[in-house]
């Protein structure tokens, strides 16, 4: 029996861990997939650290609940019923009394569980905010260190305040949970006292033998074990319940960007049409105001304007990272809201200043871990973009391992890699958002040739203020406070001496840095 018990314990432990890890890992994957499908408004309102805690920390609190809760509850419930049955067999009055005691104890524990559950939810929320704070500050470590001791002291002070708030909530939740056990211990003491009183009376009256008296006292004391285990599970259930609430709350968040019924985008270069488009972030002031323009397939548009004029916002509306507050946007004569998101985003390529690179090989970074893309296609794209000199400089070719965040590559080289990514997808619209603003001289010529090849036969939107970039565009749109203040062909506007664009060109030619309109616009 002892060997059998050991074997059962090993099997139970293995099965419990298997169930716990399988359930929690599946839940983590489901939560991660759900969050990745939410719109950018959701992600802008939350830090990466907070989301990591929501996806991993809240789920980790459920591991014991998934793995052992049912086994522990069932096992100790059976033990409790066995004790009550044995006492009832000896004397129904004793069994009834002890049964009432057990019922009152469990009811009190469940009542206190309901009180403690919101406290544990607040603890987990404060933990998510703490990790979000830490992640945000670590991301800005370089700026903090170069800002002097005052900035570092401020971060440490805010860190201490966060920790104090977290500890206060944690202490309240722990005390509430331990109150359950204190109530149970008090009731156990009363039960043992009553058992001794009853047993003494029965023995003196000759109604029970010394063996029966021992059974009553021993079995009443034995109730401590199952009820104690149930109390421990209830404490876990308090934390698990709070985690379940937060997991359900996260699953309940729906993306503000609804998938369309399936409008078809034509092959090749895509036309663009903005019709009375206005947009505001989260109910704030309008970033774009009643914007209307049309761009024919294959044309290249340059967006000009001061910082905050709405250029990047306009670009982010085309792949439906956001939906306009009012008005409609058509791509290839298809309303964006009527198009399936995967189909739309497969036809829109976006390159920005900040290129996201992973700690993986160059091959995986180019294909986004798609093993079906053959190496020959990757090399052909590199050759088409004129990037063979850059590729030949890589120490291990496609197998070159990149450090996290693209360590080992310059900003220009990272953008070259992003150009290949977009070229592989063969989009009908290419958006370059300041994609050539961080170039090192060694890669500038490569980037210029790659841009020409990437835009060939495609519609393009370029957000850039370099005169060298302006020479390749067909149309210019100047934004000011979200409004289109000038729109037209580049050559026509350049010839019109009264146009804003011609004024910018003249001012830039008189400036110290004639290849950049940024200072002129400011």
Summarize pLDDT for 228-287 with one digit per residue, the tens. Answer: 777 677 767 777 777 888 888 889 998 888 888 877 788 889 999 999 999 998 878 889
User: Over 80: is that where the pLDDT of 412 sits?
Assistant: no
Q: Are residues 90 and 231 in the same domain?
A: yes
Band (pLDDT 50/70/90 cuts) for residue 508 is low
The C-alpha atoms of residue 295 and residue 217 are separated, in whole angstroms, by 89
Give exposure, 389-400, as e/b (b: 16+ Cβ within 10 Å): ebbeeeeeebeb
Name residue, tokens 């058509």: 330
Q: What is the pLDDT of residue 34?
A: 92
In-domain check, residue 293: no
Band (pLDDT 50/70/90 cuts) for residue 207 is confident
What tokens were used for 64? 């014991």
The C-alpha atoms of residue 212 and residue 433 are separated, in whole angstroms, by 86
Judged by DSSP in three states, 260 sits in: coil
Band (pLDDT 50/70/90 cuts) for residue 441 is low
What percentage of the chain has pLDDT greater than the value 90? 16
Report residue 235 CA to chain centroid gap.
Answer: 29
User: Over 80: is that where the pLDDT of 515 sits?
Assistant: no
Q: What is the pLDDT of residue 342?
A: 87
277 forms bridges with which residues in the sheet? 291
Helices (H), 410-497: 411-425, 441-455, 467-470, 490-495
User: Over 80: is that where the pLDDT of 425 sits?
Assistant: yes
Q: Are residues 39 and 180 in the same domain?
A: yes
The C-alpha atoms of residue 499 and residue 58 are separated, in whole angstroms, by 58
What tokens were used for 408? 């080992």
Q: Do 338 and 261 meet the contact criterion of CB atoms below 8 Å apart?
A: yes
Name residue, tokens 């050539």: 436
Q: What is the pLDDT of residue 3?
A: 92
**For 111-132, what is each residue's pLDDT tens digit?**
776 777 788 778 888 888 888 8
In-domain check, residue 75: yes
Q: Are residues 211 and 143 in the same domain?
A: yes
Q: Are residues 358 and 248 in the same domain?
A: no
Q: Are residues 174 and 303 in the same domain?
A: no
Neighbours of 209 (CB within 10 A): 11
What is the mean pLDDT of the segment spanning 460-485? 84
Neighbours of 476 (CB within 10 A): 23
**For 355-408, what is each residue's pLDDT tens digit?**
888 888 889 988 988 888 899 999 988 888 878 887 888 888 888 888 776 666
Band (pLDDT 50/70/90 cuts) for residue 516 is low
Q: Are residues 8 and 108 in the same domain?
A: yes
In-domain check, residue 393: yes
Instruction: Provide φ and ψ at 261, rounded to 5°.
Output: -70, -20
Q: Do 190 and 204 meet the contact criterion of CB atoms below 8 Å apart?
A: no
Instruction: Provide φ and ψ at 401, rounded to 5°.
Output: -85, 130
Q: Average per-residue pLDDT in the chain?
A: 82
CATH of the domain at 187: 1.20.1560.10
The C-alpha atoms of residue 133 and residue 48 are separated, in whole angstroms, by 9
The C-alpha atoms of residue 89 and residue 149 are separated, in whole angstroms, by 75
Distances (CA, A) of 477 to 62, 185, 310, 353, 462: 54, 76, 11, 21, 10
Report residue 86 CA to chain centroid gap.
Answer: 54
Q: Are residues 117 and 177 in the same domain?
A: yes
Q: Are residues 183 and 243 in the same domain?
A: yes
User: Over 70: is that where the pLDDT of 519 sits?
Assistant: no
In the chain, the number of structural domains is 2
Band (pLDDT 50/70/90 cuts) for residue 512 is low
The C-alpha atoms of residue 457 and residue 489 are separated, in whole angstroms, by 18
**For 60-114, what is each residue's pLDDT tens digit?**
878 777 777 777 777 778 888 888 888 888 777 777 877 887 787 777 777 776 7
DSSP state of 447: H
- Quote the crossing angle between the two packed helices 149-204 and 210-222, to the nearest 10°: 160
Q: What is the pLDDT of residue 460?
A: 93
Q: What is the pLDDT of residue 333?
A: 86
The residue among 252, 287, 320 that closes a domain is 252
CATH of the domain at 508: 3.40.50.300
Asked which of 77-81, 327-331, 427-431, 510-514 is least confident by mean pLDDT, the reply is 510-514
User: Over 90: is that where the pLDDT of 423 sits?
Assistant: no
In-domain check, residue 23: yes
Helices (H), 209-264: 210-222, 224-252
In-domain check, residue 112: yes
Question: If DSSP states are collapsed to H, E and C, what string results for 300-331?
Answer: EEEEEECCCCCHHHHHHHCCCCCCCCEEEEEE
Distances (CA, A) of 337 to 321, 340, 421: 12, 8, 26
Q: What is the pLDDT of residue 288?
A: 93
The C-alpha atoms of residue 20 and residue 59 are separated, in whole angstroms, by 10
User: Over 60: is that where the pLDDT of 514 sits?
Assistant: no
Q: Are residues 234 and 358 in the same domain?
A: no
Pairing of strands 483-489, 475-480: antiparallel
Q: What is the pLDDT of residue 277?
A: 94
Q: What is the pLDDT of residue 408?
A: 66
Name residue, tokens 């850039």: 464
**For 24-73, what is each residue's pLDDT tens digit?**
899 999 999 999 888 888 888 888 878 888 888 888 878 777 777 777 77
Band (pLDDT 50/70/90 cuts) for residue 443 is low
In-domain check, residue 32: yes
What tokens were used for 366? 């180019």
User: Over 70: is that where the pLDDT of 436 sits?
Assistant: no
The C-alpha atoms of residue 482 and residue 445 are separated, in whole angstroms, by 33
Neighbours of 463 (CB within 10 A): 22
Nearest to 88 by CA among 104, 99, 75, 78: 99
What tokens were used for 394? 């890589």
In-domain check, residue 264: no
In-domain check, residue 291: no
The vertex-66 CA angle with 63 and 68, nearest 5°, equals 95
Torsion angle of C-alpha atoms 62, 68, 71, 72, degrees rounded to 10 = -100
Asked which of 11-15, 89-93, 478-482 is least confident by mean pLDDT, the reply is 89-93
Q: Are residues 18 and 103 in the same domain?
A: yes
330 forms bridges with which residues in the sheet? 273, 335
Its domain, for residue 431, covers 298-309+349-482+490-521
State the distance between the two ends of the chain, measured CA to CA, in whole angstroms: 85
Q: What is the pLDDT of residue 90?
A: 76
What is the mean pLDDT of the segment spanning 197-206? 81
What tokens were used for 388? 């063979």
Q: Are residues 363 and 509 in the same domain?
A: yes
E strands, 323-366, in order? 326-331, 334-335, 348-352
Q: Are residues 206 and 97 in the same domain?
A: yes
């Amino acid at each position: 029996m002892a060997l059998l018990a050991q074997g059962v314990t090993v099997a139970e432990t293995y099965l419990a861990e298997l169930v716990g890890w399988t359930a929690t890992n599946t839940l983590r994957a489901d939560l991660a997939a759900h969050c990745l499908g939410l719109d950018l408004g959701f992600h802008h309102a939350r830090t990466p650290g907070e989301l990591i805690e929501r996806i991993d920390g809240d789920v980790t609190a459920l591991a014991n609940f998934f793995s052992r809760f049912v086994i522990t509850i069932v096992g100790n419930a059976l033990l409790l019923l066995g004790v009550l049955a044995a006492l009832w067999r000896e004397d129904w009055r004793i069994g009834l009394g002890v049964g009432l005691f057990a019922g009152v104890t469990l009811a009190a524990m469940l009542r206190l569980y309901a009180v403690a559950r919101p406290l544990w939810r607040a603890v987990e929320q404060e933990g998510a905010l703490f990790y979000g704070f830490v992640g945000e500050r670590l991301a800005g470590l370089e700026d903090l260190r170069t800002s002097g001791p005052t900035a570092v002291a401020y971060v440490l002070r805010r860190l201490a305040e966060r920790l104090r708030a977290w500890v206060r909530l944690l202490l309240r939740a722990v005390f509430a949970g331990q109150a359950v056990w204190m109530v149970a211990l008090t009731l156990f003491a009363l039960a043992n006292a009553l058992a001794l009183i009853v047993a003494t009376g029965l023995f003196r009256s000759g109604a029970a033998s010394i063996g029966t008296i021992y059974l009553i006292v021993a079995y009443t004391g034995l109730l401590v074990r199952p009820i104690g285990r149930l109390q421990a599970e209830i404490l876990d259930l308090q934390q698990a319940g709070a985690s379940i609430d937060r997991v359900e709350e996260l699953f309940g968040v729906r993306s503000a960007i609804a998938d369309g019924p399936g409008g078809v985008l034509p092959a090749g270069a895509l036309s663009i049409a903005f019709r009375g488009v206005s947009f505001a972030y989260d109910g704030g002031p309008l970033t774009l105001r009643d914007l209307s323009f049309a761009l024919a397939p294959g044309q290249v548009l340059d967006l000009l304007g001061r910082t905050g004029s709405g250029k990047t916002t306009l670009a982010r509306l085309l792949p439906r990272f956001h939906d306009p507050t009012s008005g409609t946007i058509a791509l290839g004569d298809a309303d964006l809201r009527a198009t399936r998101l995967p189909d739309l985003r497969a036809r829109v390529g976006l390159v920005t200043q900040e290129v996201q690179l992973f700690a993986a090989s160059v091959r995986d970074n180019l294909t986004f871990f798609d093993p079906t893309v053959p190496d020959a296609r990757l090399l052909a794209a590199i050759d088409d973009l004129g990037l063979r000199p850059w590729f030949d400089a890589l120490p291990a070719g496609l197998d070159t391992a990149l450090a996290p965040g693209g360590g080992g590559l310059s900003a220009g080289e990272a953008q070259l890699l992003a150009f290949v990514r977009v070229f592989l997808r063969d989009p009908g619209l290419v958006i370059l958002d300041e994609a050539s603003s961080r170039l090192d001289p060694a890669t500038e010529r490569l980037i210029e040739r790659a841009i020409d090849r990437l835009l060939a036969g495609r519609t393009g939107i370029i957000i850039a203020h370099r005169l060298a970039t302006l020479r390749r565009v067909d149309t210019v749109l100047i934004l000011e406070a979200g409004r289109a203040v000038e729109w037209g062909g580049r050559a026509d506007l350049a010839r019109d001496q009264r146009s804003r664009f011609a004024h910018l060109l003249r001012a830039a030619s008189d400036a110290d840095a004639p290849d950049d309109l940024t200072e002129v616009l400011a």
